[in-house]
Amino acid sequence: MSGLNTTFTTPDATDAVELHALVKNSPPLDPNSLYCNLLQCSHFADTAIAARQDGRLIGFISGYRIPERPNTLFVWQVVVAAEARGQGLAHRMLCQLLAKPACRDVSFLETTITPDNDASWALFKRLQRTLECDGKESVQFDQQRHFQDQHQTEMQFRIGPFTQQKVIS
Ligand SMILES: CC(C)(COP(=O)(O)OP(=O)(O)OC[C@H]1O[C@@H](n2cnc3c(N)ncnc32)[C@H](O)[C@@H]1OP(=O)(O)O)[C@@H](O)C(=O)NCCC(=O)NCCS
């Protein structure tokens, strides 16, 4: 499914409706408002990547450079269509994203992951191995303190420092 004819593009606002449906159909991701997806695909498009096959959106990563620490790319959501999973697509998208000009000065990546999302942990640990750098886990948003028990704790996974050369090689 995620073979040679997969194309990777910088999204634009016309991708938002498809992205909205993909995220909505991909638990445990929190569904976004369509308006949020429109912003991810416009204001934050340079630090996002879309994967298409036969014209269909099969993968997407949204992110941004943290305003007060622009050397750090925050990965907001990673999603791969159910039928395209387990073939390395999410890893390829992360590498393609880090190789984009907008990430030229990025040397750290942060994301948050719930403790039980094995696929997400495996994905980012694989990236850490690829980049041959440190990885640190800490609590970013606590179940009680920040979510008032409405959501599991979101653990921060911080990877780096790394160089863009490592991404491309
Ligand atoms: C998480 C997700 C994006 C992974 O996409 P994918 O294209 O299947 O991932 P990859 O094929 O690139 O795999 C990357 C690593 O994760 C591992 N992995 C993938 N799915 C896994 C699963 N269900 N359980 C455990 N490990 C898994 C792979 O084995 C690989 O690790 P390895 O190289 O050590 O073997 C996809 O499962 C998904 O969209 N899930 C629903 C949404 C979500 O939870 N997103 C992440 C939170 S932001």
- Tens of pLDDT, residues 132-141: 999 999 999 9
Q: How far apart are CA 15 and CA 57, in angstroms?
A: 8
What are the DSSP E strand ranges found in 18-153? 49-53, 56-66, 69-80, 108-113, 135-141
Q: How far apart are CA 141 and CA 164, in angstroms?
A: 29
- The atom of ligand 1 lying closest to the CA of 79 is 39
Q: Residue 2's pLDDT is what? A: 52
The alpha carbon of 155 and the centre of ligand 1 are apart by a number of angstroms equal to 17
| Average pLDDT estimate for 143-159 | 97
Q: Residue 108's pLDDT is what? A: 98
* Exposed / middle / buried, residue 116 (Cβ in 10 Å: 0-12, 13-18, 19+): exposed
| CA 125, 131, 133, 136 torsion-angle sign | negative
pLDDT at 1 over 70: no
| Average pLDDT estimate for 40-49 | 98
Q: Measured over all CA atoms, what is the biggest interatomic distance in the chain, rounded to whole angstroms?
A: 45
Q: How far apart are CA 90 and CA 72, in angstroms?
A: 19
- The atom of ligand 1 lying closest to the CA of 125 is 34
Q: Residue 21's pLDDT is what? A: 97
pLDDT at 16 over 80: yes
Residue-wise pLDDT tens digits, 94-137: 999 999 999 999 999 999 999 999 999 999 999 999 999 999 99
Enumerate domains of the chain plus CATH numbers.
Answer: 7-168 (3.40.630.30)
| Average pLDDT estimate for 158-165 | 91
Question: pLDDT-derived band of residue 165, with 50, 70 and 90 as boundaries?
Answer: confident
- The atom of ligand 1 lying closest to the CA of 75 is 48
Residue-wise pLDDT tens digits, 47-80: 999 999 999 999 999 999 999 999 999 999 999 9
For ligand 1, is residue 26 a contact (CB within 6 Å)? yes
pLDDT at 169 over 70: no
